[in-house]
Structure 1
Amino acid sequence: MPHDSAPADAQRLYFLDWIRICAFCVLVCFHTGLYYGPWAWHVKSAYAGPAIEPLLLLTSPWRMSLLFLVSGAASGFLLSKASDAKFLRERTSRLLVPLVFGMAVVVPPQSYCEAIEKMGYNGSYLDFLQRYLWADPGFCPGGDCLASPGWNHLWFVAYLWVYTVALSFTVAIAGRERLERAGRWLCGMLAGWRAVVLPATAIAVARAALFPRFGDTHALVDDWYNHAVYFPIFLLGALVAGQHRFWNEAARLRFAALALALGGWAALVCLHALPAEARDGPRFLLAMACVRGTCQWCTILAVCGFACRHLNIDGPARRYLTGAVFCIYIVHQTLIVVLATALKPLSIAPFTEAGVIVVLTFVGSFAMFEAIRRMAVLQPFFGVSPSRAAMAVRERATEARIAGR
C-alpha cells in the first residue's frame, strides 16, 4: 500500500495499530521520565527535579486518552464481527486474566521497591509478597498507604474492561443499527472547525467541573474526572471506527491540530511554571482546563491525522508489534522500577542512566514476549494471542482426533 494513501479504500485501518504501537512506546519513555520528574511516583531518582517537567507535559495530557480512543475503535471493529455475548466473553478473557495475574505477579516487584525506598522495608521479597497479597495494613507510614494489592499501571486494563462491558450492554440495549446511525451523525457533527472545538470544549468542561473535586485517582470507583474524559473518548472511537469520513477529516485538519497542540503545550508549560501562590483560584483552574483540553484533543486529532495519511501500511513489522504491544505494556513498568532501583547505587549520570533504563526495558520486554509467545500456558496471562501457525496446528490436531473416532 502506498505510504501516502488515505484509508478510505482500505479494508482495515492499519494506522490505528501503528498509533497503538507508538503510544505504548511513548509510555515507556514517559514512565522512565516520571522517575526523574517532580511528580509523585513509585520510586524516585536522586536527580529528580523540575527540569524534565516540560517533556512530561508534552505527553501527559493525551497519551492515555489516545489509547482509549484506539481501544474503542478496536472494540467497534470486533463488535462488527461477533455477537454481543462472544465479544464480551473474548474481551473479558483478554483483559481480566492479565489484570488479575498482573496484580498478583507482575506488579508486586514495583511495590516491593517502593516499600524499600519509602518505608525502609528490609524483609525478603517472599515475606513482602505474603504480606502484600493479604493487604497487610502495616504499609501505611504517616497514613500514606501502599496499595496492596494494587494495579499500578494496569489501571488502564481495568478501566478498559469496564468500558467494554458498558459498550456491550449499550449495543445490546440500543441495537447495532442505532449505534451505526449515531456514528454517522457524529462524523457529520465533527467536521471542519467543530472537529477541533467540540471535543476540546467537552474535555475542558469535564476538567473544570470535576478535577478540583475528584482529582486523578486511577482507583476506578471514585475517579469521576477521568471517567468523564476517557469513557466518552472510548465510545467515540467505537462509534467512528468504521467511518472513514472521521479519519479523513482528521487527516485534513492535521496541521492545524498540530499547531494548536504545540501552542497548548507551550501554554501548559507556562502555567506550570507560575509560582505556587498563582496556581490557585478559579481563574487559574479555568485557564488550566481550557489549555489542557485544547492540548489533549488537538494532539489526538493531529496524531490520528498524520497516522491516517502516512502510516496506513501493513507489513511483517506491524503484525509482529501488534502481537507484542499488550505484553510489553503489562511488563514494562515493572522492568523500569526494578532497573531504576538496581542502578541507583551506581550513581550514573542521569541522561546516561535514563538511556540505559529505556533500552534495557525495551530489550527485556521483547525478550519476555519472545519467551511467552513460545509457551502456550503463559500466553493468556500476558495478553498474547496464539500465533496463526500454532492455531492451525491445534485445529489440524482436533480434526485428526475427530476423524479418528
Structure 2
Amino acid sequence: MSASSLAPSPDRRHDLDWIRIGAFLLLILYHVGLFYVPWDWHVKSSHEVPALEPIMQLTNPWRLTLLFLVSGAATRFLADSLAHDGRVGADRLAGSRILRLLPPLLFAMFVIVPPQSYYELVEALGRLAPQADAYHNAFTADFWVRYATASGNWCDADDCLVTPTWNHMWFVAYLLLYSLLLAGLLALTFGRLRGLGDLLERGLKGWGLLIWPIVFLAIIRWGLVLRFEITHDLVNDWYNHALSFSAFLFGFLTARSGALREGFIRLRWPALILGLVAWAAWAGYAWEYRAEDAMPAEALRRLMRGVYAADQWAFIVAILGFGARHLNRGGPMLHYLTIGVFPFYIVHQTVIVVVGHHLAQLRLPLAAEAGLLIALTVAACFLAYELARRMRWAGLLLGVRPQAANRPPLAA
C-alpha cells in the first residue's frame, strides 16, 4: 500500500471547490462568447467577432473534462461519507446522486431549456422569412405542447430540432449516468475499485503524471473522434463518453492521493508552458482551417489530435497544481459559491439566450451589449440561487438541498 494512502486525508478539498467554481464561471463566459463568434449556436448577435475564436479555444479542449474530473473527486468524498461499517454503500451513493441530479435535470428539460429552443426557432424563422412576425406565427404556435410531446416537426433543409432536449444540461445527464455506473461498479467489486487509485499513483510517478494521460487522450482521439463526433445525445457519443467517464473515474480514484496532489504541484509550471504552446498551435491550426470547405492534410490532422490532447491535459495539470498550491482556504464566500454554482449552471444558458436575443434587437454598440448581457446573466444567476435557497425541498429543482446552506462545503 502506498504511503499516501496511509496518510490521513481531509474530508473536503478547498482547492477543488475553488477550481469547480472557477470552471463553471468560465463556462458562463464561454457561452456568452458563443453569442458572438461565427460558430453555430442557438441565437446570435448582430456583432460577429471572429477574433474571439482563439480566446474561446483557450478553454475549449479542457474545461468540461476538468469539470468531470473534479466531479469524480467530489463523488469519492461523498461515497466515503456514505459508507457504513466499512462497507461501500453503493446503494446510498446511487440514491444520493439521483436525488441531487434527476429533479433539476427534468425541471430544466421542461421548464428552463424550452425558451432556448423557442428563440432558436424564432431566429431560424427570421432567416427564412425576414418579414414574418416571429412571435405570432404557425411555426412556433402552441410551442410548449409541441416541444414536450416531440410533435413540433421543426425542420429545415439541413436538420430538425428534436425535443424535448437537455441542451447544456447534457453535463448533468452524463454526470448522473456516470455516478450510477460507478455505484454499480462499487457494488460489484465490493468497493475494491477504489484500490485502483494506488495503481494509478504508482504508474503516474514523476513526469508520468504529465505524459501518460496525454498519450491516453491522444489514443482515444485518434481512434474515436472521427467515427463518433461529440453529439451530447447519450447514445452515439462514444468519444465523449470515453473522454468524460475516464476523467470522472480518474477524479474518483485519485481524490485522496497526497502523492498525486504533490505531483500536480511539482509539474504546474512545466504543464502551464506546455499548455500554452499547445494552445497556440491548436488555435492557429483551427484559425487557418476555419472555413467549412478547408481540408488539411491527413498527417497534419493526426498530429493536431495529439496537440489537442497535450493542450487538454497540460492545462488540467497546471490548474490542479496551482489550485493545490494556492487555493487552500475556505470561508463564507467559498461556502456560498460552492452551493451556488449548480443553480448558476442550470439557469445561465437560458438567460444568455433570452436576454441576448432581445438585446440584439436594440442594436446597441458591442461593448454595451456584451456588458449588459454579462451583467444581467450574473444577476439572474444570483437571483435564481437566492430563490432556490428559500424554496425548501422545491429548491432541489434548481439544485439546492434545503439543508445545504448550513453544511460545510464539499467539492460536490
Q: By the TM > 0.5 criterion, same fold?
A: yes
Shift of 1:250: 0.4
Q: Give the equivalent residue in structure 1 for 2:355.
A: 339
Shift of 1:370: 0.5
Q: Give the equivalent residue in structure 1 for 2:149.
A: 134
Query: What amino acid is aligned across from residue 189 of structure 2 in structure 1?
Result: A
Shift of 1:50: 2.1
Aligned match of 1:168 in 160, 176, 183? 183
Shift of 1:103: 0.1
For residues 336 and 204 of structure 2, what CA distance do their matches in structure 1 show?
33
Aligned match of 2:159 in 144, 148, 165? 144
Change (3 A) 1:327 1:126: farther
Q: Is 1:119 aligned to 2:132, yes or no?
A: no
Aligned match of 2:311 in 295, 303, 316? 295
Q: Give the equivalent residue in structure 1 for 2:3.
A: none
Change (3 A) 1:84 1:139: same
Q: Give the equivalent residue in structure 2 for 1:273.
A: 287
Change (3 A) 1:84 1:335: same
For residues 19 and 243 of structure 2, what CA distance do their matches in structure 1 show?
19
Aligned match of 2:302 in 286, 308, 316? 286
Q: Is 1:196 aligned to 2:202, yes or no?
A: no
Shift of 1:243: 1.2
For residues 10 and 313 of structure 1, what CA distance do their matches in structure 2 show?
13
Q: Is 1:90 aligned to 2:106, yes or no?
A: no
Task: Using the TM superposition, name which of 68-77 and 187-196 deviates more.
Answer: 187-196
Q: Give the equivalent residue in structure 1 for 2:234.
A: 220
Query: What amino acid is aligned across from residue 366 of structure 2 in structure 1?
Result: P
Shift of 1:387: 3.2
Shift of 1:142: 1.5
Q: Give the equivalent residue in structure 2 for 1:330.
A: 346
Q: How many residues align?
A: 384
Query: What amino acid is aligned across from residue 295 of structure 1 in structure 2?
Result: D
SS class of match (1:325): helix
Q: Give the equivalent residue in structure 2 for 1:154.
A: 169
Q: Give the equivalent residue in structure 2 for 1:368.
A: 384
For residues 340 and 142 of structure 1, what CA distance do their matches in structure 2 show?
26
SS class of match (2:157): helix
Q: Is 1:110 aligned to 2:126, yes or no?
A: no
For residues 56 and 185 of structure 2, what CA distance do their matches in structure 1 show?
36
Please, what TM-score do these two structures have when normalized by structure 2? 0.89
For residues 119 and 74 of structure 1, what CA distance do their matches in structure 2 show?
43
For residues 122 and 346 of structure 1, what CA distance do their matches in structure 2 show?
17
Shift of 1:185: 1.4
Aligned match of 2:195 in 163, 178, 181? 181
SS class of match (2:383): helix
Q: Give the equivalent residue in structure 1 for 2:268.
A: 254
Q: Summarize deviations over 1:224-262 as a string: whole Å, max 9, x none.
A: 111111111100000011112111210111011100111
Shift of 1:342: 1.1
Q: Give the equivalent residue in structure 1 for 2:50.
A: 50
Change (3 A) 1:390 1:29: closer
For residues 300 and 311 of structure 1, what CA distance do their matches in structure 2 show?
15
Q: Summarize deviations over 1:168-212 as a string: whole Å, max 9, x none.
A: 111111222x32321011012112211111111111111111111
For residues 242 and 352 of structure 1, what CA distance do their matches in structure 2 show?
46
Query: What amino acid is aligned across from residue 125 of structure 2 in structure 1?
Result: M
For residues 96 and 304 of structure 2, what CA distance do their matches in structure 1 show?
40
Shift of 1:281: 4.0
Q: Summarize deviations over 1:86-132 as a string: whole Å, max 9, x none.
A: 11001011111111110000000111110100134534878211111
Query: What amino acid is aligned across from residue 244 of structure 1 in structure 2?
Result: G
Aligned match of 1:386 in 387, 402, 405? 402
> Is the CA contact (8 Å cut-off) linking 1:8 and 1:248 kept in structure 2?
no
Aligned match of 1:245 in 259, 283, 287? 259
| Structure 1 stretches of 4+ moved >6 Å | none
For residues 49 and 161 of structure 2, what CA distance do their matches in structure 1 show?
23
Query: What amino acid is aligned across from residue 402 of structure 2 in structure 1?
Result: P
Query: What amino acid is aligned across from residue 154 of structure 1 in structure 2?
Result: M
For residues 389 and 201 of structure 1, what CA distance do their matches in structure 2 show?
42
Change (3 A) 1:249 1:118: same
> Is the CA contact (8 Å cut-off) linking 1:37 and 1:52 kept in structure 2?
yes
For residues 370 and 341 of structure 1, what CA distance do their matches in structure 2 show?
25
Q: Give the equivalent residue in structure 1 for 2:62.
A: 62
Identity of aligned residues (%): 43
Shift of 1:157: 0.4
For residues 387 and 48 of structure 1, what CA distance do their matches in structure 2 show?
44
> Is the CA contact (8 Å cut-off) linking 1:8 and 1:244 kept in structure 2?
no
Please, what TM-score do these two structures have when normalized by structure 1? 0.91
Q: Give the equivalent residue in structure 2 for 1:397.
A: none
> Is the CA contact (8 Å cut-off) linking 1:43 and 1:113 kept in structure 2?
yes
Q: Is 1:310 aligned to 2:326, yes or no?
A: yes
SS class of match (1:246): helix
> Is the CA contact (8 Å cut-off) linking 1:79 and 1:87 kept in structure 2?
yes
Q: Summarize deviations over 1:142-179 as a string: whole Å, max 9, x none.
A: 14111311100000001001111111111111222x32
Q: Give the equivalent residue in structure 2 for 1:400.
A: none
Unaligned segments of structure 2, at least 5 residues: 1-6, 83-88, 127-133, 408-412
SS class of match (2:206): coil
> Is the CA contact (8 Å cut-off) linking 1:119 and 1:141 kept in structure 2?
no
Change (3 A) 1:389 1:243: closer
Query: What amino acid is aligned across from residue 41 of structure 1 in structure 2?
Result: W
Query: What amino acid is aligned across from residue 90 of structure 1 in structure 2?
Result: S
